[in-house]
Structure formats: C-alpha cells, structure tokens
DNA sequence: TACATACTGTTATATTATAACAATTCTAAC
DNA sequence: GTTAGAATTGTTATAATATAACAGTATGTA
C-alpha cells in the first residue's frame, strides 16, 4: 500500500524545538531557541539549526526571511509549505500566516514570461495591524 | 573635496556601491561588496551596510531576503520599493526582478481579513530557469 | 546479524550585521 | 560668508546568525 503522506515522527530535539515554536505567540529566533532549550540538553547551535532545517523541510514550521525567525505552520501542516504568505506588523512585529486559497492559487499559477517554472513562493506583506493602526 | 554625485544624488560611497551592484549580473552580498571596494577606500562593514541601507531606502536596490544579497532595481518607477517581486532559480541562483503590473496591483490591493492594512510587500518565487530546466 | 540512514553531541569557525564615537562634508537659513 | 543641523564618513570593536567537520549513537530493514 502506498501511503499518501508519510507521518513524520519527530525526533527528540525536533519535538522539543517544535513545541517551543508552536506555543510561542511570536516568531522565535534560532539563538532565542537555543537559550530556551539549554535546560533540556541542547547546547550548541548546530543542534538547533539541524532541527529547524528539518522542521522547515517537512512543513511544520516556516522561516520568516525578513526577520530570521521561525513560526509554526498554522495551516494543515506541511502541504502548503511551498506556498507561504505572511502578514507582518511593522510596529509590534506580529506575524500571522495567511491562508487564502485564492491568493495561493493565484500565485501558484503565476506564469512568468521568461521561461521560469515556479515550484514554490514566499510572500511577506507588511503593514500595521489592527492594534497598531 | 568630496562632492555629491549629481546623477542620482548619491554620496560617494553610495555611488561606488550602487555602480558595483548595478553592473553585476547576479545579486551581491555585503562582504563580497566590501572586498570589491577596498581598493576604493571603503574598508569596513559599516560603510557598506550604511550605503546599502540608504540605497534600499530610496529604492535604487532591493534586498533578496532569502539570499541576504542585493540587486539593483530594474523598474524605472520603483522609486520607493514598496512592492517587490523576484524570480529565483534554485539551481543557478539567477535572480530576476518581476515587473508585472497585474501582479503588483493584485498584491497591493490584497486585503487581509484580520484588519491589516498593507503598505508594502515582498514576493520571492522559486523554480528553475529556462537554462536549468 | 549487517548494513544504511537519520539523528546526536561537540568544537571550532564562517558569515552577516550593528554599536559606539569622532571627524568631516553637505545644505539651507541667516 | 557664517553658522548650525543633518547627513555622511572613518574606525574599532562586537553582536548576531549560520555552517563545517568529525565522531558517536540510535533506528529501521534485510
Ligand atoms: Zn504553513
Ligand atoms: Zn501591530
Ligand atoms: Zn525594483
Ligand atoms: Zn537557472
């Protein structure tokens, strides 16, 4: 039987770091994570970065490129990790993952003239949130 | 002694660094720039980063966030870089600024439900270019 | 068992970016 | 032309972000 999706069982370090990111109300930076998990035996940057790389790869988290910070995926894990969009408040730094099917479809089907075939995109929208307006 | 270059109202360091980026076929990283301009008397990172910050601010260059690299603006009307989109080849690293009015209008008018009012966006589309396909 | 793959722990280093402060140059108002 | 504020420059030091390299350990599968 072929399974549609492999269920990713997270390793110990991956689970520790995912849990931390998942319960954080704001994007977390790698070294903030490192300092937070030292009590759990994760002592060095490579341990954090390896877990982060893997979690990004399987779509459990996303990297906010403009902030070098990580958020957990708020959509149905991993499937749309190749099509990410975020709203970012320039005042309070709040980040929210946008799940807008029309937007996602529009960008996924975007065809660029010069022969590019797109496999993935990342969109970051900046402005002021409700509170900060 | 040192006079402002009239052409774009850029200062000496800004002009040197803009020229370098502008004639580069590929995005340039800050320290690549630093090494390239040392013969012109720019010796330290802050000199490079200050020029880069200013050039980004006035829209002469853009930062490719996923690469920590800089390209010159290819849109003549991008005076304030509030709406940027790039196609990026995952194989050869080629980066191309997309100027698609429909896309730009679509994203600029994108209204997110949760009360965000967007002032600016950055879109990075990844795939394989014509050569690399 | 034996082998492959993924994950871990560790030290060191590379890369990217900013803080802080003094000096100079540009601009515009007087 | 003098003057004062803003912008730019030069400089040293350091902070923040990320990876290389290598050795060891678990885990799944044949
Ligand atoms: Zn997601
Ligand atoms: Zn806000
Ligand atoms: Zn542009
Ligand atoms: Zn290519």
How many helices (H) and strands (E) are present in chain B, helices listed first? 4, 5
Place of tokens 């008397």: B41
Spatial neighbors of B80 by CB under 8 A, at least 6 apart, are B58, B59
The domains of chain B, with CATH numbers, are: 12-72 (1.10.10.10), 83-127 (3.30.1490.190)
Q: Model confidence at B15, in pLDDT bands (50, 70, 90)? A: very high
Where are the alpha helices (H) located in B1-133, listed in sequence order? 12-22, 30-37, 45-57, 101-108
Phi, psi of A83 (to 5 degrees): -145, 85
B25 vs B55: CA distance, rounded Å? 18
Q: Is A105 on the interface with B (CB under 8 A)?
A: no
Query: What pLDDT sits at residue A75?
Result: 85
The pLDDT profile of chain A, 133 residues, written as one tens digit per residue, is: 222 334 579 999 999 999 999 999 999 999 999 999 999 999 999 999 999 999 999 999 999 999 999 999 998 644 557 899 999 999 999 999 999 889 998 998 887 777 888 999 999 999 999 999 8
Q: For residues B75 and B82, give the distance between their C-alpha atoms in angstroms, rounded to a whole number.
A: 12
Query: How far is it, in rounded angstroms, from Cα B15 to Cα B54?
Result: 11
Distance B43 CA to D11 C1' (A): 9
Q: Which of residues 70-99 of B touch A (CB under 8 A)?
A: 87, 89-90, 96, 98
CA–CA dist B17, B36 (Å, integer): 9
CA quadruple B36, B131, B105, B75: dihedral positive or negative? positive
Instruction: Give the whole-angstrom CA distance, residue A77 versus residue A73.
Output: 6
Q: Does B58 touch chain A (CB under 8 A)?
A: no
The answer to whether B112 contacts A98, with C-beta atoms less than 8 Å apart, is yes
CA of B23 to C1' of C8 (A): 45
- CA–CA separation, B3 vs B6, rounded Å? 9
At A115 the pLDDT is 83
């Amino acid at each position: 039987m072929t399974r549609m999706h492999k269920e990713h069982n997270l390793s110990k370090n991956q689970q520790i770091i995912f849990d931390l990111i998942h319960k954080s109300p704001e994007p977390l930076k790698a070294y903030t994570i490192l300092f937070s998990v030292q009590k759990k035996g994760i002592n060095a940057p490579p341990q954090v970065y390896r877990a982060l790389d893997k979690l990004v790869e399987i779509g459990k988290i996303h990297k906010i490129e403009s902030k070098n910070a990580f958020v957990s995926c708020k959509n149905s894990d991993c499937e749309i990790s190749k099509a990410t969009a975020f709203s970012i408040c320039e005042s309070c730094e709040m980040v929210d993952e946008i799940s807008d099917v029309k937007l996602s479809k529009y960008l996924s089907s975007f065809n660029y003239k010069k022969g590019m075939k797109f496999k993935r995109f990342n969109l970051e929208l900046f402005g002021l949130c409700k509170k900060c307006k």
